[in-house]
């Protein structure tokens, strides 16, 4: 087991389509997290920024831009980019600095100002870039990949579009209770079924939007937290940042093909399942110990896939777990009590940090109407483009 770090502060800027710059969202989230921690920005030893790719130089090379906006005070800086997994890598970088004794107090910030419509690759002719190629050669948007996964689940596991819609119904009901969510209206299954097909079999309300937003955490060493008067803080016990193993036999964004398994037998577990397993092993717990999970529901169907990849149920049983109400409020293992990406839309470098914010509030017992009673252990999970695993386990 790895040592733990304390989560002293969590803060967010509301998700939306605000039309302002990412720096503003990140600074608002950072100030909220510092206030929550009861710390002054000048107490921060190190700032770690999760980069957006939509701010010229990636997030103006994010950590320094946030530090400058908060007022230069000489803190150590690091910046990371790992697509959707950027936030988890920023958290892991902060944790590593604390556990290595390089810093006592680290501020983690991610923020994005998203474009309208489909995400697209960076500009210019770049035929050596798989992300450019999949758009140029196939027109394969992110929702197209989500559609492929959803159809595969329908064929192999018997999931139905009605199952997928129920994920949206569940998550939108929670988003309605979350003041940081972009979408605050409850959605019915009929509304999902009446929305336009984007990438068969998925409809507009099955697929997460792209949003503006910012999230931040203040992480500290355990001894610092005690000195600061936090006797029983939320602690991060594991961060999984694994890559796939060859051959990776599940078609991943942005690839045009899987690895071939002709020469090497694939591992019995998929990449996504390995992300969770490594987190469980590091934390010394199993899925049966979880109070709640925040998973990356880029589509409704993907949330069901995560149930299985996290070991909340067996392979192919995700839809049944949902139908049984196990992942709803009051169920055995509530999932996406924040409202999920269904209610937020994705603000890429902020999203994995926002997942940990929600888990922090749940473990503190301050999640209000969304509170999971007696929450003690939470996991977050996502997967970043190009092979970035991301999962965080927090306990209290």
Would you say 130 or 329 has its CB closer to another protein? 130
Least distance from another protein to the Cβ atom of residue 147, Å: 3
Our CA angle for 226, 231, 237, nearest 5°, is 85
CB of 223 to another protein, least distance (A): 40
Q: Which of these ranges, 78-86, 259-267, 333-341, 349-357, lies near another protein under the rule CB under 8 A? A: 259-267
Cβ distance 310 to 289 under 8 Å?
no
Q: Comparing C-alpha atoms, which of 4, 62, 67, 12 is closest to residue 35?
A: 12
Under DSSP, the state recorded for 364 is H
Size of the site for another protein (CB under 8 A): 47
Please tell me the distance from the alpha carbon of residue 245 to that of residue 387, in angstroms, as a whole number: 10
C-alpha angle 12/176/116, rounded to 5°?
A: 65
β-bridge pairing 292-295 and 377-384: parallel
Binding mask 149-178 for another protein (x = CB under 8 A): xxxx--xx----------------------
Please state whether beta strands 234-240 and 388-395 pair in parallel, antiparallel, or not at all (unpaired).
antiparallel
Counting beta carbons within 10 angstroms of the beta carbon of residue 268, is it exposed (0 to 12), middle (13 to 18) or buried (19 or more)?
exposed
- Identify the three-state secondary structure at position 42: helix
Per CB under 8 A, which region of 144-152, 187-195, 290-298, 384-392 contacts another protein?
144-152
Examine residue 254 and say whether the peptide bond preceding it is cis (omega within 30 degrees of 0): yes
Point out which span in 245-253, 291-299, 323-331, 377-385 binds another protein (CB under 8 A).
245-253
Residue span binding another protein (CB under 8 A) among the ranges 135-143, 182-190, 302-310, 321-329: 135-143
Instruction: Report the residue from 35, 138, 185, 194 that binds another protein according to the rule CB under 8 A.
Output: 138
Rule CB under 8 A: choose which of 48, 198, 293, 395 binds another protein.
198
Q: How far is the CB of 139 from another protein (least distance, A)?
A: 4
Contact residue for another protein among 60, 132, 344, 361 (CB under 8 A): 132
Distance of CA 169 to the CA centre of its chain: 20
- Cα separation values, 9 from 175, 279, 350, Å: 22, 22, 15
Region from 159-167, 178-186, 251-259, 339-347 binding another protein, contact rule CB under 8 A: 251-259
Q: For the CA atoms of the chain, what is the radius of gyration?
A: 20
Structure tokens at 185: 């209206």
Per-residue binding letters, 103-122, with another protein (x by CB under 8 A)? --------------xx-xx-
54 contributes a contact to another protein by CB under 8 A: no
Candidates 101, 179, 231, 262; binder of another protein (CB under 8 A) is: 262
Binding residue for another protein, selected from 174, 199, 328, 395, defined by CB under 8 A:
199
Where do we find the tokens 């007022």?
71
Q: Which residue, 130 or 325, is less far from another protein as judged by CB?
A: 130
What is the binding site for another protein (CB under 8 A)?
117-118, 120-121, 125, 127, 130, 132-141, 144, 147-152, 155-156, 196-202, 246-247, 249, 251, 255-264
């Amino acid at each position: 087991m790895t040592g733990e770090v304390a989560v002293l502060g969590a803060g967010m800027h509301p998700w939306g389509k605000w039309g302002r710059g990412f720096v503003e969202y990140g600074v608002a989230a950072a100030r909220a997290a510092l206030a929550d921690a009861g710390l002054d920005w000048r107490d921060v030893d190190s700032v770690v920024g999760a980069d957006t790719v939509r701010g010229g130089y990636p997030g103006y090379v994010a950590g320094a831009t946030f530090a400058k906006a908060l007022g230069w005070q000489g803190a150590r800086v690091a910046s990371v980019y790992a697509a959707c997994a950027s936030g988890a890598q920023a958290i892991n970088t902060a944790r590593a600095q604390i556990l290595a004794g390089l810093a006592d107090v680290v501020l983690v910030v991610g923020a994005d100002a998203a474009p309208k419509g489909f995400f697209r690759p960076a500009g210019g002719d770049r035929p050596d870039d798989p992300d450019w190629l999949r758009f140029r050669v196939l027109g394969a948007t992110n929702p197209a990949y989500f559609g492929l996964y959803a159809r595969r689940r329908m064929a192999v596991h018997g999931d139905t579009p009605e199952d997928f819609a129920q994920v949206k119904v569940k998550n939108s009901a929670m988003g309605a209770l979350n003041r940081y969510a972009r979408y605050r209206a409850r959605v019915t299954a009929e509304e999902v079924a009446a929305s336009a097909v984007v990438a068969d079999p998925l409809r507009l309300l099955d697929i997460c939007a792209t949003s503006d937003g910012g999230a931040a955490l203040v992480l500290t060493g355990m001894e610092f937290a005690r000195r600061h008067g936090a006797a029983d803080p939320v602690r991060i016990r594991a961060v999984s940042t694994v890559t796939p193993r060859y051959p990776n036999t599940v078609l991943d964004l942005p690839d045009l093909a899987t690895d071939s398994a002709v020469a090497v037998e694939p591992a019995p577990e998929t990449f996504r399942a390995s992300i969770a397993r490594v987190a469980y092993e590091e934390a010394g717990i199993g899925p049966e110990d979880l109070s709640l999970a925040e998973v990356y529901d880029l589509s409704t169907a993907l949330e069901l896939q995560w149930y299985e990849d996290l070991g909340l149920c067996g392979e192919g049983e995700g839809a049944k777990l949902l139908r049984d109400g196990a992942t709803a409020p009051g169920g055995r293992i509530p999932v996406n009590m924040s409202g999920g990406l269904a209610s937020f839309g994705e603000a890429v470098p902020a999203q994995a940090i926002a997942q940990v914010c929600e888990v922090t509030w749940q473990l503190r017992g301050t999640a209000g109407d969304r509170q999971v009673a007696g929450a003690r252990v939470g996991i977050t999970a996502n997967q970043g483009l190009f092979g970035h695993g991301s999962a965080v386990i927090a306990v209290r």
